[in-house]
Structure 1
Amino acid sequence: MNIKKETFKLTASVIAALIFMVLLVLFPRTPNFQLTTTVEMQEFGMMPFFQEYKANLTNFFTHVKEHKSLGGTRFSQTTVEQEVMRYYPKSLLVIALAFIISITLGLYKGIFDYKNKHSKKNFLGNGTTWLFQAIPDFFVVIIAFYLAFYYLPMGVIFSNKNWYSFAAPTILVTIYPMMYVARLTSASLLHQDGSDYIRTAFAKGNKIKQVIKGHILKNSLLDLVGHLPTIMIVVISNMLMVEYLTGYAGAGNRIFIALGGRQNNIGNGAGDIEAGLVIGFGLCFMATILIVHIVKLILLTRLSHKGA
């Protein structure tokens, strides 16, 4: 693997994503001009729009340069950095746990699916994997709410006041990426199933557990490492949805408020968004994915050297 080429591609992707995010967030949403006649529209064209867009960009970067801050929030005494430090660590706990659990359990689930592909247990294997991948994530959350409301103390499970408030969102966030990892693992194992060295291992009297552990799983882990950033993206996208639906006090829930959702009486109006805060959380998400990319490159480099 060409580490320099991969590093250059990763750097270019990060820069492009940063530029796109800032341009998108600062895009004018409430035009402060009105053109009432066709003559005025022909005369002015799109100039007022571009002037407002330019003003948004200029004001944002000027504030960053002068105040060394991404700006304020809807709360007059709170800065973007304070809100990020308040909410993102809570989401990062959910993200880290869901990422680790989904990889660990997904790996075992994928092995189970592979081992039982031709047995009656295939329904519990590939059947459940397919089912949870086919069901929309929000539907799983709705089912969890239904079960908690009728059979469990919902106020305790989904409350933000308890130290274990991260547990329920973590479980809900883990489900889809775990099945994604299981599908990757099972597909990788099946891809190697007919290889000569696999048939040779079986011919020597090795059981399927020994063949998987001693031969197939090593190559499957290499395939899995290549998908680590994708798994992290799936985890973060799930986290945004789950936090919003469950009301968990993390970055995912707060970013929806910053974008204009769940309006309250505090703020500048339903049409305003907290652009600096959206950019701040976006930078945190990108940094998390970037770290996973770097870990992927390191692991692939070491595994490639071992393979050589």
Structure 2
Amino acid sequence: MVRVIQQTIFIFLLILFLAALPSVIGVNPEEKTLTWDFSKLPQVYGDFIKEISQGSLGTYQLGYQEREISEDIGDNFNTSLLIMLVGVNIGVILSLLFGIFISRFRITRFVNTLLNLFATIPDFIIIILSLILAVKIYKMTGIRIISLRPDAGALNIWFPMVLVGIAPTLYLFKLVAVKYYQISGEDYIRTAVAKGMRLNYINFQHVFKNIEPFIIAELTKVVSLAIGNMFIIEYLLNVSGITKFIFLSSEIQPIAVGLFSMLLISLITYFSVRLVLYLFKRGFLYE
């Protein structure tokens, strides 16, 4: 319990420190060097806590308007949460599907080769190439795949979901493929094959149960990859997500609220994947 409290306090102070960086860092025009004024930190922390204690999230600048964060954060939070939940969970499901359960089919080998090829390309480059491809498709067919309008509804949501899910899919697929190859050579798998057990039964009851701990251990990294990509995707595609509060202001209040919201989205996404894996085990595996 004490350790949890210590970690919570550390994360709280770290997020506030990151949010306060624009206020702490300055530029010396004469020497053309960065200056750090850490004396502002106590006041920054105090102002943030005072604002929250008064029941207000503060304000942020939207163009020439000064708006209340509490008025806009609900829709922005739900948009980012939906993108993360769908993107990461689909990435996990596809990784398990192609890495374990249909790995024996010929078409899966082609998909494996394609995913391994994409895994060598940096995520940022994949995102840029996807945007270029979407524009090319629109010019050739007239079919609009993406929209850069923040009020475009599903047209501004589904494509970011796909892009957010790319990094988790590629990372988990490589992990699952390697572990599947290692586990397939174990003695208990060979024994199960020798006894004439069906391949689906072996994959469900033996292979998946031994791969699942590795997936759970890597979930924090998977979610962090998705969060990092979402910063880029929401900015490039003009998505009205939670990152808007971070990009549109240099003040501590909106940046801190945005970072705390991203942390909450990460936790919800993490536990949603754990729930999916738990329901899958209860529905298909015999304990």
TM-score grouping bracket, smaller chain normalisation? 0.7 to 0.9
Q: Give the corresponding residue for 2:51.
A: 63
Return the match for 1:51 from 18, 31, 39: 39
Is the strand fraction higher in 1 or 2? 2
User: C-alpha displacement at 1:98, in angstroms?
Assistant: 0.5
Return the match for 1:190 from 173, 176, 181: 181
Q: Tell me whether 1:216 sits opposite 2:207 in the alignment.
A: yes
Q: Give the corresponding residue for 2:127.
A: 141
Q: Deviations over 1:253-304 (max 9, x none)?
A: 442223xxxxxxxxxxxxxx0321111121112123334556688899998x
The 5-angstrom pairing of residues 184-263 of structure 1 reads 184-258=175-249
Q: Tell me whether 1:286 sits opposite 2:263 in the alignment.
A: yes
Matched AA of 1:88: F
Q: Tell me whether 1:80 sits opposite 2:57 in the alignment.
A: no
Change in Cα spacing, 1:230 to 1:12, as seen in structure 2 (3 Å) is farther
* Unmatched segments (≥5 aa) in structure 2: none
User: C-alpha displacement at 1:93, in angstroms?
Assistant: 1.0
User: C-alpha displacement at 1:74, in angstroms?
Assistant: 1.4
User: C-alpha displacement at 1:104, in angstroms?
Assistant: 0.9
The 5-angstrom pairing of residues 102-121 of structure 1 reads 102-111=91-100, 115=104
Q: Deviations over 1:68-100 (max 9, x none)?
A: 223211155522222322311111111111122
Measured in 2, the distance between the counterparts of 1:61 and 1:104 equals 40
Matched AA of 1:132: F
Change in Cα spacing, 1:230 to 1:113, as seen in structure 2 (3 Å) is farther
Contact between 1:72 and 1:276, CA under 8 Å: does it hold in 2? Answer: yes
User: C-alpha displacement at 1:101, in angstroms?
Assistant: 0.8
Matched AA of 2:261: C
Contact between 1:71 and 1:276, CA under 8 Å: does it hold in 2? Answer: yes
Measured in 2, the distance between the counterparts of 1:237 and 1:35 equals 35
| 1:251 alignment partner, SS class | coil
Measured in 1, the distance between the counterparts of 2:43 and 2:123 equals 39
Change in Cα spacing, 1:202 to 1:80, as seen in structure 2 (3 Å) is same
Q: TM-score, normalised to structure 1's length?
A: 0.74
Change in Cα spacing, 1:113 to 1:188, as seen in structure 2 (3 Å) is farther
| 2:59 alignment partner, SS class | coil
Matched AA of 2:122: P
Measured in 2, the distance between the counterparts of 1:30 and 1:182 equals 41
* Unmatched segments (≥5 aa) in structure 1: 1-6, 37-45, 259-272
Contact between 1:98 and 1:173, CA under 8 Å: does it hold in 2? Answer: yes
Identity in percent: 22
Return the match for 1:275 from 234, 239, 252: 252
**Structure of larger gyration radius:** 1
Matched AA of 1:252: T
Measured in 1, the distance between the counterparts of 2:162 and 2:230 equals 10
User: C-alpha displacement at 1:203, in angstroms?
Assistant: 0.9
- RMSD over equivalenced CA pairs, Å: 3.5
User: C-alpha displacement at 1:171, in angstroms?
Assistant: 0.9
Contact between 2:148 and 2:237, CA under 8 Å: does it hold in 1? Answer: no
Measured in 2, the distance between the counterparts of 1:293 and 1:61 equals 27
Change in Cα spacing, 1:202 to 1:135, as seen in structure 2 (3 Å) is same
Q: Deviations over 1:32-52 (max 9, x none)?
A: 99999xxxxxxxxx9x93433
Measured in 1, the distance between the counterparts of 2:272 and 2:265 equals 11
Q: Give the corresponding residue for 1:265.
A: none
Deviates more, 1:187-196 or 1:26-35: 26-35
